[in-house]
Chain A
């Protein structure tokens, strides 16, 4: 195994998002951007494989120029190279168009193993990884908890489903998607941070660089089979009753009364 590509996405930290209570709209200002947690787990898997085999780890993302920060963070964690695919041609992409563009970018790079996070916290679709694998015509294993090397071109992968685990044997090249809850990513090192900003470059790819590998009709908003018809905040439920300053016994009486009223007891 010589080359590992890791696909990441820079996402708003959705756990920090608040709703404006009066308008019901999202307050986007001040929400920090982070590397999607499942993707960071994917990078950790790649770096562990690098530690064992000396493989080169290249991180790829599609996004606006600001995604440079996320890529520098991956370099500081130990990635060797970083690639940013950016351009207005890609704006408004759904998962299908995103995977078309990313797959085209990956075709310009050598790879034995591709790692993506299971899903991104801003969309939670889990679709882009498998769609990239299909566009590249390589097998996929999603929901990956751990990866071991069997021999030079064979991996043993543990996959978690709801009710079972599979140990799978896969020949390279392959794409896997990783589970953030199973894999603890390493921290950036001080030397790594220094190198990430002083020594290493983020390579920028544009549409011109990938155009031989993708039909422009499959990119961006116009290349997206799905469209957002509308988005809305959920209707606010009428407020219930909240009791403060009640004793435990009073609280029990109140709860029991309610359960009787609703025929639960």
Chain B
């Protein structure tokens, strides 16, 4: 009989990833509805100490598969390990972050276990009648939302977009013993060899953590269009972000892209400049607390979701706004 809510905790270079904490936060809510426990599963090499910290982030139990084979992510060793944990423990629910790793391992495990998988969920609930998991996700390029169920197979599995769920406050008083789960790896499990790993040199800015984002779209005109936006972002202690158009044009790095194929953000303030606001962009930012849009085209869809919209020339407005905010800051 399947039970408990399991969370696949992603680690890179032994460092646990934030999305895992977010999933533990959500898993705690689901566990309360089901009166079951939250179990964190970590796969890696030399990760036992890091795994023990998961109790402080809301895990009732922690399972670690600790093996040199799992040092760097490879599909087969990871899928094999997780499959064996699933087979032995029979989870009711298993959640993954919708990251590259999560989206690589989860479908592999779903096919091996023979169970359903729902991708990129933005909302998870327990059906009060059936006690099944209701998995809600954007579909059709974000134009509609669909709630998916997996009534006849277990575990019910979902990948969840990073930045959507809320992590719990860390509670240093919580401790526990990490269960070490052994997997009998064979040399042939390493069926793909890593020739080299090239880490992105500059530290990637995580725009999902920014409280304030100043975002540019095609309307900023070129890569130099980000300069005034950067100045505005600096005054506000924020970061710059972008629509897909600028990324595809090579004006800015992909890690700053907001939207369906980029990141989901919900900052306190999102200033959209020169962004038309097509649905693919809107799905990544529409839950921002305050949306200010500046665009010269008054029929741009961004004005439908903006709390405050100004139809005008961003080249005239942005520098003046930066100066005005600078003065206010200096006066304080």
Q: Which residues of A are at the interface with B, using a C-beta cutoff of 8 A?
A: 12, 14-15, 17, 19, 26, 94-96, 99, 121-131, 133-135, 139-143, 156, 160-171, 174, 181, 224-234, 237, 239-246, 248-249, 251-252, 254-256, 258-259, 262, 264-265
Contact = CB atoms under 8 A, between A and B. Distances in A.
Contact of B114 (A142, A225, A239, A242): A225
A164 B320 contact: no
14 contacts: A12-B140, A17-B140, A26-B143, A95-B107, A96-B111, A125-B117, A162-B255, A164-B199, A166-B197, A170-B193, A227-B150, A230-B146, A233-B145, A256-B325
A171 B248 CA distance: 32
Interface stretch (B44-52, B60-68, B309-317): B309-317
B312 to A, nearest CB: 5
Given A167-B198, A231-B146, 10 more contacts: A26-B144, A96-B111, A139-B75, A160-B100, A163-B199, A174-B192, A233-B145, A241-B309, A251-B320, A255-B321
A46 B90 CA distance: 40
B294 A225 contact: no
B292 A258 contact: yes
Given A126-B119, A134-B108, A243-B310, A169 B269 contact: no
A225 B152 contact: yes
A43 to B, nearest CB: 20
Contacts of B149: 226-227, 229
B22 interface: no
Contacts of A127: 103, 106-107, 110, 117, 119
A131 B107 contact: yes
Contact of B120 (A124, A140, A161, A225): A124
A262 B290 contact: yes
Given A139-B76, A226-B118, A230-B147, A251 B317 contact: yes
Contact of A181 (B142, B192, B248, B309): B248
B88 interface: no
Interface in B73-88: 73, 75-76, 79
B198 A231 contact: no
A221 to B, nearest CB: 13
B56 interface: no
Contact of A121 (B75, B120, B141): B141
Interface of B: 12, 72-73, 75-76, 79, 99-101, 103-104, 106-108, 110-112, 114-120, 134, 138-153, 191-200, 204, 212, 236, 248, 254-255, 260-261, 268-269, 278-280, 286, 289-292, 294, 298, 303-313, 316-317, 320-321, 324-325, 328-329
A121 B145 CA distance: 14
Given A14-B143, A143-B100, A243-B310, A256 B107 contact: no
B195 A167 contact: yes
B120 A125 contact: yes
Looking at chain A's contact residues, is the secondary structure mostly helix, strand, loop, or mixed? mixed
A174 B325 CA distance: 56
B269 A164 contact: no
Given A251-B312, A255-B310, A264-B290, A140 B108 contact: yes
Contact of A95 (B117, B140, B307): B117
B304 A229 contact: no
Contacts of A164: 12, 197-200
A256 B204 contact: no
Given A131-B110, A232-B145, A243-B309, A225 B116 contact: yes
A242 B147 contact: no
Contact of B116 (A96, A174, A243, A245): A96
A171 to B, nearest CB: 8
Contacts of B268: 262, 264
Contacts of B134: 229
A252 B321 contact: yes
A254 B108 CA distance: 52
A234 B144 CA distance: 7
Given A243-B309, A246-B310, A135 B145 contact: no
Contacts of A141: 75, 192
B320 A252 contact: yes
A229 B148 contact: yes
**Most chain A beta-carbon contacts within 10 A, residue among B73, B114, B278, B320:** B320
Contacts of A166: 72, 194, 196-198
A251 B320 CA distance: 9
A262 B196 contact: no
Contacts of B195: 156, 167-169
A143 B107 CA distance: 14
A233 B286 CA distance: 14
B147 A231 contact: yes
Nearest to A17: B143
A168 B73 CA distance: 11
B313 A234 contact: no
Contact of B110 (A12, A96, A245): A96
Nearest to A125: B119
B212 to A, nearest CB: 7
